[in-house]
Amino acid sequence: MNAAFSLNGKRALVTGANTGIGQAIAVGLAQAGAEVLCAGRRSCDETVAQIEAGGGVASSVLVDFADPMAGQTLFDGPDIDILINNAGIIRRDDALEFSEADWDAVMDVNLKALFFTTQAFGKAVFAREAQGAVVNISSLLAFQGGIRVPSYTASKHGVAGLTKLLANEWAARGINVNAVAPGYIDTNNTEALRNDPERNKAILERIPAGRWGQPEDIAGAAVYLCTPAAKYVHGTVLAVDGGWLAR
């Protein structure tokens, strides 16, 4: 493997690694040589099994990021060099009907937990005078408004903003902070859209690639941003959307 794209000797933490995009990223990191700690509110045993079946090294931990401070203790064990902030939730309703409970639940997981988990990671990396990489999973809705997902849209705009802020503060100190903004990906979060014939048709007609993305489409971009090949990439929000934003 080209050393510029190798993660041999690195240890990565992936949040929300039990399924979908998080699972694909965890597997991709392992294929690049990293040891992977898979964190999720549900068991990540399937992800660990996939990694081990491919000859990689992985472990798992149960963490519910509905508690925004739950990630604080994840960095008390072996050193972690890479943090993938993928854990996220979505709530759908018209803006006029959207509840405070749904607003708070989404913001707590998607934005507050992301920040304080990343803060703990940064403190741990700087304490040992090491280098590291953070990849935040934002969304196409960091660039657009969407419909019926007010807290999700606000949170993903916030993720993009925090990515840039942290890059400004940490780039010179040895931590690369970037984000990937997935387009319409075939995951649990988009099941309602795919099951709606009219919305599904409208979305597909807008995507130049002509298909929904797969979690593996996001994994390659995320893994790249963790490798030495991306050492001069800071504060980028990389859209992986099948060309959606180009339309």
CATH number, domain of 134, equals 3.40.50.720
CA distance 75 to 103: 29
pLDDT over 90 (residue 155): yes
Residues 94-119 have pLDDT tens digits of: 999 999 999 999 999 999 999 999 99
Strand partners, 83: 13, 134
The answer to whether residues 171 and 235 touch, using CB atoms and an 8 Å cutoff, is yes
Burial of 233 (0-12, 13-18, 19+ CB in 10 A): middle
Q: Which of 152, 184, 224, 232 is catalytic?
A: 152
Task: Respond yes or no: is residue 232 known to be catalytic.
Answer: no
Distance between CA atoms of residues 124 and 6, nearest Å? 23
pLDDT tens per residue across span 51-63: 999 999 999 999 9
Q: In what order do the strands lie in the sheet with 132-137?
A: 58-62, 35-40, 11-15, 82-85, 132-137, 175-182, 237-240
Domain that holds residue 189: 3-246
Q: Which two tokens stand for residue 72?
A: 């604080």
What total of structural domains would you count in the chain?
Answer: 1
| Residue 146 to residue 89: CA distance in whole angstroms | 15
Spell out the residues 6+ positions from residue 239 whose beta carbon is closer than 8 angstroms to its own.
Answer: 140, 143, 181, 183, 245
| pLDDT value of residue 2 | 81
